[in-house]
Amino acid sequence: ETGVTQTPRHLVMGMTNKKSLKCEQHLGHNAMYWYKQSAKKPLELMFVYSLEERVENNSVPSRFSPECPNSSHLFLHLHTLQPEDSALYLCASSQEVDRPINYNEQFFGPGTRLTVL
Amino acid sequence: DAKTTQPPSMDCAEGRAANLPCNHSTISGNEYVYWYRQIHSQGPQYIIHGLKNNETNEMASLIITEDRKSSTLILPHATLRDTAVYYCIVRDTSGTYKYIFGTGTRLKVLA
């Protein structure tokens, strides 16, 4: 248990569906992250939030829409996805958005395995 | 792009020490080296980090060369449960100093 939970753990959706992934951290952290991990590819950072403000968006298609209503919760809203969006989606949190000269461990959730049909 | 390079795979006999190398020749003076591992289909798990000195915790030891251009993660007595992908990470120093994950080393511990 890392203190970061994700629901659902598995999700199958059609290309016309709308669904949301949820992440919750119980660590009192101020920064939260969404990563995507496709088969046989490195983890790719998608979004970074600091104190509920999005501070980074790594050229992610608009069919992925993040939401951070408070520092403990992070959502990823999905709509009109493509089969190539099938992947493991990981949420992480850290005490704060990384700064230089700071050690800042990230705590990862177990991920949501998404399959788009 | 990731700022680290690692061998794609390694095997280790159970009970032996596993030594996982990492090159980070462009590391900045104040950047830490982090090691995480990812067991199949789970989220990455923090192992250890270091700046200049060698470090040891209950999971592993980290040896950093004096010039800081490379490091080695040592699992002193590897078990079957240590089979995982191991990532050596040096943060990107632009923007939010984010982690850039490479492809890691797939360690297989053999019985």
Looking at the complex, does the CB of residue B103 fall below 8 Å from at least one CB of chain A? yes
Which chain B positions have a beta carbon within 8 Å of A113's beta carbon? 41
Residue B34 near chain A (CB below 8 Å): yes
- Cβ neighbours of residue A1 closer than 8 Å, sequence gap 6 or more: none
The chain-wide mean pLDDT, for chain B, equals 90
Q: Are A112 and A22 in contact (CB under 8 A)?
A: no
pLDDT of residue B93: 64
Dist CA A107 CA B56 (whole Å): 20
DSSP state letter for B68: S
Q: Which pLDDT score, from 0 to 100, does residue B1 have?
A: 67
For residue B101, give the nearest of A43, A55, A100 by CB distance: A43
Q: A60 to each of A22, B50, B85, how far by Cα in Å?
A: 18, 32, 25
Of A13-17, A37-41, A53-57, B18-22, the poorest mean pLDDT is in: A53-57
Q: Distance (Å) from the C-alpha of residue A25 to the closest C-alpha of chain B?
A: 14
| Rounded mean pLDDT, B12-32 | 91
Q: Would you say residue A27 has pLDDT above 90?
A: yes
Please give the pLDDT value at position B97.
60
Between residues A67 and A53, which one has the greater pLDDT? A67
CA distance B97 to chain A (A): 5
User: Nearest Cβ partner of B49 from A48, A88, A103?
Assistant: A103
The rounded mean pLDDT for chain A is 90
